[in-house]
Amino acid sequence: MPFFEHVPLAPPDPILGLTAAYFADPRENKVNLGVGYYKDEMLRTPIMQCVKQAERVLLESEPNKEYLPIDGHKTFIEKVAEMVFGQAFWKKELSRIAGFQTIGGTGALKIGGTFCKEEVDRPIFIPVPTWPNHRGVFTGCHLRIDSYPYYDLKTHKLAWDLFLDFLEKREEGSIIVLHASCHNPTGRDPSMEQWKTLAEVMRRKKLIPFFDCAYQGFGEGLEEDAQAVRLFAESGLEMFVAFSAAKNFSLYGERVGALFILAQTATTAEHITSRVKQMIRTNYSNPPRHGVAVVAHILSDASLHAQWKKELHHMRERINRMRKELAERLIQQSKTHDFQHLKSGLGMFCFTGLDEGQVERLRLEYGIHMPRDGRINVCGLNQNNIEYVVDSLLRVT
């Protein structure tokens, strides 16, 4: 008797499944606004020139392909910690930061979630809405998962009062997932004054922040996009930071990420390091070395570091330019729908405000693909398709 006949067919991933539907669409004027990648004006995901240069150096100089340590590439961990926490804090508090190279940002969430389950075992709360895989990853860690109000779909603003009221009612040790910048999928972040309020409330209520830092440099800048993490770290909170180099280094397929756990003391950080290394060892044993070596080399070489910042600046400019142009065209032309909120977001993603019926019409009638909640990636736009997209959006609204 077969052992596996009972296995059900799993539903397609809500985001990755969009790409398959897009490629299967035979229309020449089709548009993919659901993709989670940065795209240039030619709608390609380019390899950054600084990455190419670093790879050429590594090709000639890399001595071997031996295993990395369990916790990963030391230079990478130190350089990214400095980038996330700021040089001053990193130098002063290095001994309190337990850092680990992970298999992408998702791997950082998974390892961090596993640590939360085994060593904290408190409920974890994710924002509504959030990146869909947050729930899946933390479910896989067997954590108790709930959600909190973050975004008001009617006003297209933060559900600020509800958010604060939620935090005030949480029990000590509750884990709160926060997007460090460029909130996915809304593109709406708290202001610095609001971040200060959140840090004060979470410190007073003894809550544990878990930052997902996937887009540093895609919002306002490398320094600006790290301000929330730095504010919380300097306030004395114990916290988690899951970092991804996929977007800001355009290294999606290399799976380069990091997990940082900020403890109260150096001794505690040492204990945390020992436990997380055990978890990694029994999961994937050692992290991969190529992509992380590229990032470490770029961040260690003054010339390549400057070039990377310049390339990242151009990527951010394109994101902001396409968001602004989309918003302005829709605001000027729409007589029935308010698109003002599109102007004020940060990062690749934003909510259009379309409902599921309108999203389905766009797909069926116009070949424009996006998630059912109306979230779009503005990098799917360029000068060749933006007029068609705007006209199609106006037709369904």
Q: What three-state secondary structure class fits 95?
A: helix
The CA-atom distances, in angstroms, between 237 and each of 93, 171, 200, 232, 233 are: 13, 16, 10, 6, 6
Please name the residue that has the structure tokens 């436990």: 275
- Closest by CA to 74, choosing from 299, 263, 247, is 299
Spot the catalytic one: 39, 110, 195, 212: 212
Question: What percent of the chain is helix, strand and coil (3-state, nearest 5)?
Answer: 50, 15, 35
Candidate list 71, 195, 247, 308, residue with the active-site label: 247
Distance CA(360)–CA(339), nearest Å, equals 19
Phi and psi torsions of 334, nearest 5°: -80, 130
Q: Determine the Cα–Cα distance for residues 191 and 172; give it in Å rounded to an integer.
A: 25
Q: 160 an active-site residue?
A: no
Name the residue among 372, 23, 46, 97 with its Cα closest to residue 258: 97
For this structure, is 110 an active site residue? no
Catalytically annotated residue among 90, 131, 195, 308:
131
Active-site residue, 131 included: yes
The candidate with the shortest Cα–Cα distance to 342, out of 331, 332, 333, is 331
Which positions are catalytic? 131, 212, 247
